[in-house]
Amino acid sequence: MSATVGETAVSLCRGAVMHARATPVRTRFAYRLFFLRIALSRLGPQPVPMLALNRWAPLSFHFRDHGARDGSHPLTWIRALLAREGLGCADGEVVLQTMPRLFGYVFNPVSFWFCHDRAGQLRAVLCEVNNTFGERHDYLVAHADGRLIGDGEWMETRKVFHVSPFFPVSGSYRFRFDRRGDLHAVAIDYHDGGERRLRTRVSGRAETMSRAAAWRALAAHPLMTLAVIARIHVQAFHLWRARVPFFSKPQPPVQEMTR
């Protein structure tokens, strides 16, 4: 899977997110949204139209929201993590797929760090997960031998982090990363007890970040990042009203990352 050829420093992707729950009640919802794909090695030296860096603006990206969360450049952090995990083969571009801050606010349920080799082939994906309790956990998706992750290939990791109170901390996630031209898509399936319990899809069509693209996205979704947290609670209310079993939040895992 090659994801860097033809991409600019920052791409804006307009698309949708979908969740479909299979048990114990069937629910499905889909919302329109936009997100950014940021080539981290190219971020900083040159200004990006309409995207403020580490300062307030209608649309901005802050280093402190990702990686070490201390304001340092995210590329330094992810390079160190890959080296520590024996994934020095992922020494090419790292593309961070995430939502920006809108008018100073953001909540990213999950951001994806696509880590490539120098030939532009995907070697690892770090899935940076945040819950509504202010906690974070990272899932590193990669083959043990560091070989390429194929386009559309399913990858699995065990679930160790509490996200929804309507699912236990057990079972596993299965990830699939697809690119078809300028369309980028991620699938995450949650399996537990021998069955698929949740399907999640996020996809968007990329275009070069420009003032026109940014204004179109902001006009269509001016409160998108606030809507993310609001919709999480609205969906939780519907599940509570449907008497879906509730699981209390456990302590977060001691380790910050699962592979």
Decide if 139 contacts 129 (C-beta within 8 A). yes
Q: Which of 138, 121, 142, 119 is nearest to 129 (CA)?
A: 138
pLDDT at 44: 79
pLDDT digits over 221-248, tens only? 999 999 999 999 999 999 999 999 999 9
pLDDT tens-digit series, residues 7-57: 679 999 999 999 999 999 999 999 999 999 999 999 877 789 999 999 999
For the chain, give the mean pLDDT.
95
CA–CA distance, 73 with 96 (Å, rounded to integer):
12
Q: In what order do the strands lie in the sheet with 101-102?
A: 52-53, 59-61, 101-102
* DSSP reduced 3-state for 51: strand
The pTM assigned to this predicted structure is 0.96
Structure confidence at residue 8 (pLDDT)? 78
Per-residue model confidence as pLDDT tens digits over 149-206 = 998 899 999 999 999 999 999 999 999 999 999 999 999 999 999 999 999 999 999 9
Helices (H), 189-245: 211-220, 224-241
Q: Residue 6 — very low, low, confident or very high, per pLDDT cuts 50/70/90?
A: very low
pLDDT at residue 116, rounded to an integer: 98
Q: State residue 5's pLDDT score.
A: 38
pLDDT for 62-103, tens place per residue?
A: 999 999 999 999 999 999 999 999 999 999 999 999 999 999
